[in-house]
Structure 1
């Protein structure tokens, strides 16, 4: 173990190094040849120039702080090492320059130096990367902290971007749903308007058709009152129900051809009294019953509105009226009210 006791002082004399004058301390750079290992003690001896009169041995024991980077940004420093005693001969100490006058050291050793300057100065740059240095990091701990903050900011930025994207997506979906709803409502309105227009057009066409039919069809008489309708039941009718439509009017009221056709028969017909049968072009037959008189004969062609007889009370009746029946080409009876309305007429 090295001893801290001072070695016997060697004679010391002034010597000129280069251009230095005697008595002044010159710069001395020891080399491998000028040093030799000494067991038990640390000695530095000069082998040239001032070997005899210079520094023969040194009592100085130098403590070395070992810096080593540990962990991902941590470090071991010499701050925790115990202080090492350093002693110099008085002759050497008197000739050492003032520490405050050394470049870069004076401000650190000054009484006015900031107390935290040395504490905050980095002791090592182990673990620093070029990027850390470019960003102003001066030690591994600071660099690690900067990277952690940068990573946190990046993660926050990504979270904000994700939230923003989700909000934008939700807004777009909501706008799309609203647009679809509006489009659906618009389509419904268009469809409703279309159906209404179609219905109006159909009604108009039907009205035009009925108007045209009405121009070619005519009611069988005028100044009348409807007394019995098709399908009414009663004992006065041999079939048990009424088979036609009764137009009650004074005797002698003109009876007209409902449509152009050919007189199929004209004469007496039992309970129907005097009856005229008018056959239309499609085979439909119109029966005019209970007439008081007839002005046409079988085989005669008539036109719409032409007078073919007079209202009377012949046959099985209770008073003067025109009994009108409608028979299809097959011979079946139908409701005269519905048939006349289908031809554009309103009885």
Structure 2
């Protein structure tokens, strides 16, 4: 099994256990030497503190549920270490060192419940050793053993603290990166939302944006008892521009008119590309007369436009249809339909003019 495939807790505990048990082996070895321990005691010490950490790592790494197996290993640690301590009469500093090390390992993963569990398993291990081997309380240790226990415990706590600091720094950095990524995602979502509501050729609002804005504008105008006008605009004989000068020239004409419309209603309404060569202006708070003047002025501006595209002279005129809420309709579809019918009337009556819905006297735009 590749090392990277093993649960990180199993790998972390393997390192911590191996370090702690190796330090404990050195300190406890001096205690056995002072007690003139025989070969059996030394073999037991080596097996428990040098071989055991690698055996339980191998077991957890190959278990069906490695994390669960590792938590079980930590409890086994408590039972075995306390059994060893009891068998040697509970020497004070070695027992304290083992208890603190085990508590750290379990509480870091299980919290207060881990402390209760390690106390329980250590008590069980110690009781079992006392029943099997007897118990002769001998708390004293040599100054060397005491000093090594202090040094081993201190070194282990420093390693633990360093790891905790490293994980804390990594967590802060990870959260910072996540916030940056979340901010970037939020910006991208806002940009995508804007793109779905914006015409790519002209930058004006598209039909989707209009379908959202018009109902809300009607609600607002109804609440404030204000009029709302819709102006439909179509470029006259636009196909001729495409046929004579090419579609790129036609696109340039559409962009230029869109730029002028956007400037015309800036801060006072919404300019949309309704489709093809058609535009729509949404003018909340404006009645027929202001809308008529605006459409007339725009028509004259377009008629006077002399646009150069790649050395080609482009000219155009526009026809406009106007409808008003609440005069011609009280709902979005009816208001747009009334403006479209007025635009159709302007086309029938010769183009280059403005017609108001249900108005029998259209305003004709002069050609010059």
TM exceeds 0.5? Answer: no
TM-score interval, smaller chain: under 0.3
Which is strand-richer, 1 or 2? Answer: 1
Larger Rg: 1
Which is helix-richer, 1 or 2? Answer: 2
User: When the two structures are superposed, what TM-score results if normalisation uses the length of structure 2?
Assistant: 0.24
Higher RCO structure, 1 or 2 (CA under 8 Å, sep 6+): 2
